Every structure is written in C-alpha cells, then in structure tokens.
Amino acid sequence: MAPPLARQHLIDPEVCIRCNTCEAACPRGAITHDRNNYVVRYEDCTGSGDCLPPCPTGAIDSWRQVLKPWTVEEQLGWSALPADQSHGEPLAGDVPADVEALTARATATSGHVPPPWSAAHPYVGLYSPEGPAEATVVGNLRLTSDDSDSDIRHLVLDFGRVAFPVLEGQTVGIIPPGLDAHGRPHNVRLYSVASPRDGERPRHNNLALTVKRVVSDRDGKPAHGVASNYLCDLTRGARVQVTGPYGSSFLMPNHPGARLLMICTGTGAAPMRAMTERRRRRLPLNEGGDILLFFGARSPHELPYHGPLMKLPGALIDVDLAYSRAPGRPKEYVQDRMRARGDDVLRHVLDDDCFVYVCGHKRMEEGVTEALRDLCRARGVDWDARRDVMKREGRFHIETY
C-alpha cells in the first residue's frame, strides 16, 4: 500500500514581502525566516489559521500535498513553491536545482496566473524591510478636488542613483516610520506603481503611486490609515523607505497588436494608468492594439486622473466611466457599463490576443464576474471555461483589495 500524503503549510516566496506579520501572529512559533525566505516548520504547525488574516499578500495561504514534508532548510533555499507530490513524484530534497523548472512546476499546480507571453522580465524582491531602498519625494499632487471627501494623491518618488527597476503592473512596499500600538515597527504596505517602466518623468529613475488617504473603514467608521496618511502628508524632499518591487504576473504584453480590456475603481486605476501611459508614449510606433477601459468612482470629482484621461486620443483608448453618486445621474457601477457595452466586451473577451486586467475594491470583483458570465451566457459561451483558458495563457489578471 502506498504511503498516505500529508498536507503541508508553506509560504509562497514569489508573493511574500517579508513583512513578518505571519511570524508575529503564529501562536506556536512555527514560522521562522532568514534573509531569503519566511518558512513554516511542519512539525510545529497546527493549521490554526491565526497567521492567515494578517498577511497583506496572501503568500501565507499556500499548501501542498507531500509524501515527506519539506524541511526548514529546504524551504529557505526556494525561489518558488514546488509542485504537489504524488506517489512516484520527487520527495523532499529532490527539488530540481534548475530554477526555471521549479517555477514551471509550481505554476502548473498552484493556480498562479502566468504573465503575458510577451511581458518583459520583472525584477522582484530586490529590497526587503531589513534592507529597503530610500527614495526622495519630488512631487505630491492632490488628484481630487479640495472640497471632495476623498483625498487621492499622485506621489512621485525619485531613487537617484539607487537601482529600482519596475514594470507596469508591479507594486512596491512602503515602510511607515515609527512603531505600532504593540511597540513593533509598522508592517509594509503595498501600492501599485502608476507610472510606466521608463519613469514618471521619462528616462529618469523615478516612479509614481496613487494613494488615497484612509480616514474610515469599509463600514464608514473612523479609521486612520497609517501608511496612506503618512504618504499623503509628505512634502517635497522627504525621504521614504521602499521595498520590492513585487509582482510577476499582473504585467502588460509587449507585442504589437495586443488588445487590453481594463476594469477598475478608485486607486485601482494605478496599474491601468501605468499601462496606458506606456502605450501613449509608444503611439508614434503605430503598434496597434486598442484599449477598452471601464473606470468607476462615486463622482467625477473623485475619479483620479479624470482630466488627463479625457484628453487621451480615441485612437489609443475607449473610456467608459461609471459614477455611483454623481448628482443628476443614475447610479451606475462598472459592471453596469460593461453590460451596456456587451458586444464590445465580448469582442475583447473572445479575442485570443486580448489581455484582461481587473483592479480595485474586492466588492467590485463579484459584480464584474457576474456581468462577464451573463454576457457570455447570452451568446452561448461558457465564461468559466473561457476564463480558465485565459488564465492559463496569462491573459486574465485580477488584483482586488
């Protein structure tokens, strides 16, 4: 009889930002780390789940079926998760030395969506909380009107001579100064990059972030966002501790003719702005590949980049805006505009050279999914099957929070 498989709790080294929340939250002390990885001791882990909610990226919620548990020493050497083991598969200690082979096996079994086939190679995790990069604030522009309840900022960080290469769709970590209520350093907060790879100012070593000042929680109760308020209050010349970059999936295609379908709300516009600006700067190359953008906010005054967005040429982008609280207008969400443009949406979804990006509030995700499912069903298309194909091909990407 074949020996039984065990379920082992692991941490995804490709997603983990090394913020230490999991180790601090584990009641059994089962999590440890070195300068490379955070890992879980199999013999000490009870699977209580206490470490799952605090993790800002979901890296902690990783599991594998194993014949023989991976040791701490083996996990510390990983750059990607291994595949599930099965009878006849490699045991712990037999992990391939070739990093590409290990990554391919992990991708095939973990559900991780690969990047577009023509995406540029991303650099990931160059700077950790223990060894962050330092950037200088060279711009802090309020994007929303002064009388708006929503304070959204366009923040530009300059890295000077420090190498900090980023791609459209990646994120960076910000370390707020000071200590939390327990006397520990604040955890890293993640923000999507809002500028293209050659910088907010072309050919300069800088990048932009889109930051909303958090003054209440999702239920409307007063809440103070430590990182968001810190960033929104920064003035020119201030120094900021930055980690990352992070992200190897939510990347844009680079081949001519690739179409983009973008759906976002609020500060979820950041990666869309980065990709759109990349395309705008390359318009003279006449590479083709249209962009269809659905963008939602409560009102035009709370929609970041509204002015510049409206000035983009129609040859570059087709913009459809949804406002949920605009005076004198019916309440609409992005999924409502998608249904109204059903033929255009389906034309993109059924195009094998279209890449879909969804970014914004978590509650938006369900509405967008149902809209896509209904639009497909009305035309005899199985959305779930189509989505699975697109994910395997690196053409369907979601980042919600």
Give strand pairing partners of 314.
none
C-alpha distances (whole Å) from 138 to each of 141, 158, 279 are: 10, 6, 24
| Tens of pLDDT, residues 325-362 | 888 888 999 999 999 999 999 999 999 999 999 999 88
Confidence class of residue 101 from pLDDT cuts 50, 70 and 90? very low
As a whole number of angstroms, the distance between CA 300 and CA 323 comes to 7
Q: Which two tokens stand for residue 12?
A: 């995804």
Domain 133-246 annotated CATH 2.60.120.10: no
> pLDDT band at residue 3, thresholds of 50, 70 and 90?
low
The mean pLDDT value for 138-161 works out to 93
Higher-scoring residue by pLDDT: 84, 242: 242
Residue 227, H or E segment: helix 226-232
Query: Range(s) for CATH 2.40.30.10 in the chain?
Result: 133-246
278-287, long-range: CB within 8 Å, 24+ apart, which pairs?
Answer: 278/168, 278/196, 278/197, 278/252, 279/316, 279/317, 280/312, 280/316, 281/196, 281/198, 281/202, 283/313, 283/315, 283/316, 287/256, 287/257
Cα–Cα distance for residue pair 262/396, rounded to 1 Å: 10
What's the pLDDT at 290?
93
- Average pLDDT of the chain, as a whole number: 88
Least confident range from 1-10, 28-37, 113-122: namely 1-10
Which carries the bigger pLDDT value, residue 255 or residue 326? 255
Q: Is the pLDDT of residue 256 over 90?
A: yes
**In this model, does residue 1 exceed pLDDT 80?**
no
The pLDDT assigned to 318 comes to 97
Instruction: For CATH 3.40.50.80, list the domain ranges present in the chain.
Output: 259-400
pLDDT of residue 86: 54
Residue 313 pLDDT grade (very low, low, confident, very high; cuts 50, 70, 90): very high
Q: Supply the angle between the helices 342-349 and 362-377 in degrees, to the nearest 10.
A: 90
Judged against a pLDDT cut of 50, whether residue 110 lies above it is answered with: no
Q: What is the pLDDT of residue 130?
A: 87
CATH number of 6-110: 3.30.70.20
pLDDT value, residue 231: 97
- Given this structure, which CATH class describes domain 259-400? alpha beta
Ranges for all domains in the chain classified under CATH 3.30.70.20: 6-110
To the nearest 10 degrees (0 to 180), the angle between helices 362-377 and 383-392 is 120
> Residue 287 and residue 254: Cα distance in Å, rounded?
10
pLDDT at 219: 73
34-68 confidence digits (pLDDT tens): 988 999 999 999 888 888 877 877 788 888 888 88
Percent of the chain with pLDDT over 70: 93
